[in-house]
Chain A
Amino acid sequence: DAKTTQPPSMDCAEGRAANLPCNHSTISGNEYVYWYRQIHSQGPQYIIHGLKNNETNEMASLIITEDRKSSTLILPHATLRDTAVYYCIVRVATYNAGNMLTFGGGTRLMVKP
């Protein structure tokens, strides 16, 4: 799976949009971009994933550049409960078993009042 690069930490004001960047310049055509977050000492929580098109769900939006070499996770109105480590993961698109997740260092997002 392709490697990803994320800033180690970011701050965001409560109520403002949090934009978390991820670089995946070596991504292949059959690889998805996945985002998870982990609140302190809890299991990672799935947020969203996408292949080419921008995606939105009740938690966040995922913007993928046209060349697919980078993406941005957007939390539209950050709250204190969004303080967590956010992981961007690139993963082969397959329903076959054996498809693991490779976690990097992630971005520690601190939402401040």
Chain B
Amino acid sequence: ETGVTQSPTHLIKTRGQQVTLRCSSQSGHNTVSWYQQALGQGPQFIFQYYREEENGRGNFPPRFSGLQFPNYSSELNVNALELDDSALYLCASSLARSSGGGGTDTQYFGPGTRLTVL
């Protein structure tokens, strides 16, 4: 069973540029959530993708967007980078089901991508 992987590990961009971060979900998982973690703070939810559609979004502007592919991997895109976008970006995968039955999905995190905006 492979865990969640993210690429690249580190990235340096300049203000105004665009960036794409990638995430491969754990095998058997169909849902990907993205979080931003600024230095010294807890992770903040950006959005979640399920069945290739955005399904839940946190308090982030539209220049943060994403994709999920048929193999459940995902991309996070950030346009018009700002200095405050410098953070650790975390991806988490889980198994969501459309039917009920109780219980809860558990999110498993990747190692993160450290983005520095200069």
Q: Which residues of A contact B (CB under 8 A)?
A: 32, 34, 36, 41-46, 49, 87, 91-106
Does B55 have its Cβ within 8 Å of any Cβ on chain A? yes
The residue of chain A having its C-beta at the shortest distance from the C-beta of B33 within the complex is A100
Where chain B touches its partner, the secondary structure class is: loop
- Given A32-B104, A44-B90: A95 and B33 interface contact (C-beta under 8 Å): no
Q: With A95-B100, A95-B104 known to touch, is A106 a contact of B42 (CB < 8 Å)?
A: yes
Shortest distance from the beta carbon of A44 to any chain B beta carbon, whole Å: 5
Give a binary string over B1-14; 1 marks a CB under 8 Å from any A CB, 0 the rest. 00010000000000
Complex partner residue of B106 from A49, A96, A100, CB under 8 angstroms = A49
Check: B86 CB closer than 8 A to any chain A CB.
Answer: no
Contacts of B102 in A (CB 8 A): 93
The size class of the interface chain B forms with chain A is: 35 or more
Taken together as a complex, chains A and B put the C-alpha atoms of A71 and B107 apart, in Å, by 20
Give the residue name and chain of the B residue nearest to A42 (CB).
Answer: B111
Judging by beta carbons under 8 Å apart, are B104 and A101 in contact?
A: no
Interface residue from B42, B58, B109, B112 paired with A100 (Cβ < 8 Å): B58
A46 CB contacts on chain B under 8 angstroms: 106-109
Contact A41 B88 (CB under 8 A): yes
